[in-house]
Amino acid sequence: MIGNRKWTSRILSFAVAVSVAVSTLVPTSKAAAAGEPVIEAPVALLMDAKSGQILYEKGENDKRFPASTTKVMTMLLAMEAVQSGQKKMTDIVPVPLEAYNIEGSSVWLDPNEKFQLQDMIKFVAVPSGNDAAMALAIFLAGSQQAFVQKMNDRAKELGLKGTHFANPDGLHNPDHFTTASDLAILARELIVKYPQILELTKIKSFEIRGGKNKIENTNHLIGKYEGMDGLKTGFTDEAGYCLVSTAERGGFRLIGIIMGATDDLQRQADTTKLLDYGFTNFNSKRIADKDKPVGEKAIVPTAKNEEVEVAPAQDLYVAVKKGEEQSVQTKFVWNQVEAPVAKGQVLGQMQQVQNGKVLSSVDLVSTQEVERGSWIRLFFRKALDGISTSVKGLFE
């Protein structure tokens, strides 16, 4: 019996040794096997800012508490209010009691102080001031409740299906949630339409009140990671450590999302791995220019001139893995349209396709107004189409 036990013990030891050796040779995850980054946080996403392509995703549609990454929407609504002429950057923003009494991160606003709108946006962008976010919300919409309604209306317009806001600052509320996919769309909307926001989000520190208070950026990768110039951190006990990051190198801009990290160091490490993966493995290429006619033309049979010139409604970019550029093809998809055609009317799409998957696309719009053809022309066109169909049927 003793001899058998020794042999059994030796066999088990050998089996454990083999198991350990094999485990060091086999990748610990599918991500590692595919050469993708191994992200420790439960949720992550990497997006090419110009095309909107998703380059990496993990738990991207999981509903999570966003903490202060909420303020990406707060900043967007502030920038849109200025763009529309409703507000000016030099407007004085009052400090209501709701802002003065708010908990969490702040710049210690006092109702007796007078700061401009541009200051308040900076107080949100750099130190993640909850008091500044609340002051902005009430200044822009009249009340916190009205501003939250604006937030949710804007989320709906952007197609953020996994998002619901309950406040402008991100303090925990069980009815306040989003997803990595939605956050990426929101961040892209802000930085593509209002790139000037990055002049604020990249500030490492600044002083206020005549140097009495030094304000530090909560994004500790600013000044540490090459090309990093934004965008917004977030933390609550329920949300964990979150970061909506963006960095640009050589005109190639990436947006990274990390949600639910255990601490700031993990948040930084995961963000670094995520962005490194994008910059190391992908190239961004400009395919077509906004308003510049493309070679293909839309066919509108009922138009006076059935070949209609089209141009992209926006610049078209595609991000492709290095070495796979030749596998990406341009495809045109046309809508069924009846004349007359208005200038700027969408007639189809220009797509970048790889192995049957659409990587990026842009709407193609008419460059001019196109009249409807005469009834005589349309009559003969239908007659010819009928004859063509009949002849084709004889040979089928």
Q: Are 296 and 332 in contact (CB under 8 A)?
A: yes
Torsion angles phi and psi, residue 4, rounded to 5? -65, -40
8 Å CB contact between 238 and 65: yes
Kindly compute the dihedral angle of the four CA atoms of residues 218, 224, 228, 232, in this order, to the nearest 10 degrees.
-10
CB 44 within 8 A of CB 243: no
Quote the CA–CA distance of 365 and 48 in Å, as a whole number: 24
- Tell me the two tokens of residue 113: 């102080």
19 is an active site residue: no
How far is 267 from 55, CA to CA, in rounded Å?
A: 19
Residue 322: half-sphere exposure toward Cβ, Cα within 13 Å: 8
Active site (annotated) includes residue 143: no
Q: From the candidates 50, 51, 58, 71, which is the catalytic residue?
A: 71
Contact 133, 71 (CB under 8 A): yes
Out of 51, 105, 106, 128, pick the active-site residue.
128
Tokens for 12, please give them.
């088990």
Q: With residue 244 as reference, give the H or E element that holds it.
A: strand 240-249
How many Å apart are CA 194 and CA 372, to the nearest integer?
Answer: 40
By the 10 Å C-beta count (0-12 exposed, 13-18 middle, 19+ buried), 396 is classed as exposed
- Cα–Cα distance for residue pair 11/7, rounded to 1 Å: 6
Residues 158 and 98: beta-carbon distance below 8 Å: no
Task: Please confirm, yes or no, whether 361 is among the known catalytic residues.
Answer: no
User: Of 50, 51, 58, 68, which one is the catalytic site residue?
Assistant: 68
Active site residues: 68, 71, 128
